[in-house]
Amino acid sequence: MNNTPIHSPEYGKMLAGETYQATEPGLVLELNRVKVLCHEYNGLCPTDFTGRNRKLHEILGQCHDDTFIVQPFYCDFGRHIRVGKGFFANFSFTVLDEAFVTIGNDCFIGPNVGIYTACHSTDPVERNTRREWARPVNIGDNCWIGGGVTILPGVSIGCNCTIGAGSVVVGNIPDNSVAVGNPCRVVRTL
């Protein structure tokens, strides 16, 4: 698993959910290191299952031998992404993991799904200082996240949920729910 030390005074603030300087050199160095790892992963032969899994173990904070992410895959830090057993993600899975992203067992992610933990000010002057903060995302066991879904910072999705294609998840979704739309709302309980 990805446990290379990060030499950055801002790193602890980032993980604590405090405002931090996103352009701090230690953070930028780590972001670029992981971008290279993702580039290497995305360049592997799609049938090189052993090599792909080895590279995912190098990128992610937690994964398993049955973790399957279809290339291309993009993330920021990687180490903050923890996936359970039986995890599958389709093409163009993108995770901005400035905070932890925890995904349970037997979860399926459709193509072009984005999970974002990074937060920015709506005030343009403040936003342009490149100071930001992050909120974790949690997804329970046995979930299916449809294609083109966007999951915003601080969201928790319970176990046994289905999120319909194209949804924008801005708030928590309880266990055993089918939820769709923008903003995503529960339309049925299992």
Q: Name which CATH class applies to 11-189.
A: mainly beta
Rg (CA), the chain: 16
Note the pLDDT of residue 4. 75
7 CB-contact burial (10 Å; exposed 0-12 / middle 13-18 / buried 19+): exposed
Note the pLDDT of residue 147. 98
Coil, strand or helix at 108: strand
Length, in residues, of the chain: 190
Cα separation, 190 vs 159, whole angstroms: 11
Count CB-CB contacts under 10 A for residue 177. Answer: 22
Catalogue the active-site residues: 120
- Mean pLDDT split into 10-residue runs, the chain, 190 residues: 82 96 96 97 97 97 97 98 98 98 98 98 95 98 98 98 98 98 97
> How much is the pTM?
0.96
Coil, strand or helix at 102: strand
Helical H segments across the chain, by residue range: 11-15, 25-43, 49-59, 124-127
